[in-house]
Structure 1
Amino acid sequence: MVSSSAWNGVRRNGAFYASIAPFFLIFLAFSIFPVAFSFYLGLSDWDGFSDPHFVGLANYGRALNDPVFQKAIWNTLYLWFWSTLFTVGLALALAVLVNDHVIGGRTYFRLVFLLPLLVAPAIAAIILRVFFTSNGGIVNMLMGAAQGQPSYFNWLASEVWIKPLVTLLVIWRWTGWHMIIFLAGLQAIPRDIYEAARLEGVGRWAIFSRITLPLLVPSLVFSIVTATLGGLQMFDEPFVLTQGQGGTNNSTTTLGMYLYATAFTQFDFGLGAAVSWYIFAAVVGFTLLSRAVNQRLGGSA
């Protein structure tokens, strides 16, 4: 039981508690309650209209046995791996070039490379469609000019090419943001270290591999972690590029798109909630793994 002294303290500081109460009420209503309710839905069969029926872990088993869910896992891993690899690699290369060869106007470069992130995903998808549409697309026009005959290849309907196109869209949108992270990390490295290495006759590649890269590990880990967390929850780019259809034979259906389709198209909220907890488990697992790796690298540095 709460002691009388505690109650007296609450009465004495009533104005303070009243001033912070709205924050906790909003946090409870829009954070704690949705999480708890989604956990309950994951154990229930509910279409959003009738009363929920408790089914235990059946929704989790249904998801694992669904071929579309299995394909969504593969698509998500594919898009995450290649988009992270090229985005982080290209961002690192651009950051090094800007840091080494641009003395004035770095703010201009930051602005230019961040502009794609300010473009709405729907607009970015329209731009990409202008290049790769089957009828009148710029890429097909160039191919037709090279071949001497018109080309009507349907890039967006191809199971082989649609994934690279989604990856290209992700790279275009997010490379600038990761470049800013690396550029901040590079500018935090003392210049005296580089000058001492040059006086010792150390080459550029040795300076990069033995000085720059080890000192850039915190920025590199942060960049990879954020790219991975975004990749595991990828939704915008494949959704808008395929107009919500997931490509031919679900070739670009990600876990986020599968969750959206089951919950808000098929109205199977129980299955959708179960999928959301699978995504949550993957995000938490990778976060813990990256934290352990970061601590190990930090301890060995």
Structure 2
Amino acid sequence: MTLILRTIPQVRAWRKGLPAGTRLGFVPTMGALHEGHMSLVALSKAQADRTIASIFVNPLQFGPNEDLSRYPRPLENDLALLEAAGVDALFLPAVEDLYPKDASTFVVEEQVSLPLCGAFRPGHFRGVATVVLKLFNIVAPDVAFFGQKDAQQCAVIARMVRDLDVPVEIVRGPTLREADGLAMSSRNIYLSPEDRAAAPAIHRSLVAAEAAFAAGERDAKRLVAVGRTVLAGEPRLKEQYWEARHPASLAPLVTVGPEGALLAVAAYLGTTRLIDNLVLGAG
């Protein structure tokens, strides 16, 4: 049975009670769990002795005109999924427990958080880095699991862990996709049938650029042009960005070199914003 822990002292007492040498895996989420989240749970079960998950819709990472109030919160279904997967414990904190009313300390990463989503969602990664560091301090995991679909989030967390000497190993799980290529996301439930039919063009645009890379193209601008052309072919999609970046530093690229590239895209279908990415390998 999955033990539900609602307060910070409860989590710390549970953690302290684990046998010495226990390798603890941690899967932080905002709930509305899908197969992508559960694949991270499976990774933790395979790589750690015990697994704890968290569900917390973090208000600090939502902008004033974003979807905090309507973000899906199907808690009963989430609990059933975690229970079936054999998760040992679930941390379900309240907002007031993580953020005192007069909280004035935050975590700001000043390089990899700036481009891509950071350019359009000011304060978002400040919220992400702050809540993740707080959760790491509370849970004290040995290893934490994040999805590659949120590649920039992974980069920000990896940089924070490195720069602040946080003793947590970061593992990225691969992006899970629907049969038509759409990256699994809790926000996919917002899509109308028409928008859902159009959404796979995001992944097709990435695959088209990947094919050009496989055929020998190394010029970043030309690879981006290939992807943007495919995306523009779906009139329901409104591009926010389509870029080629260094996979670790997220610096802009002129040429794709031996370290490869992160191809990243964000686009709107109606009011729903979707992101996806693909990593080009060495060559």
More strand by share: 2
> TM-score normalised to the size of structure 1?
0.19
Structure exhibiting the larger radius of gyration computed from Cα positions? 1
Structure number with higher relative contact order (C-alpha < 8 Å, ≥ 6 residues apart)? 1
More helix by share: 1
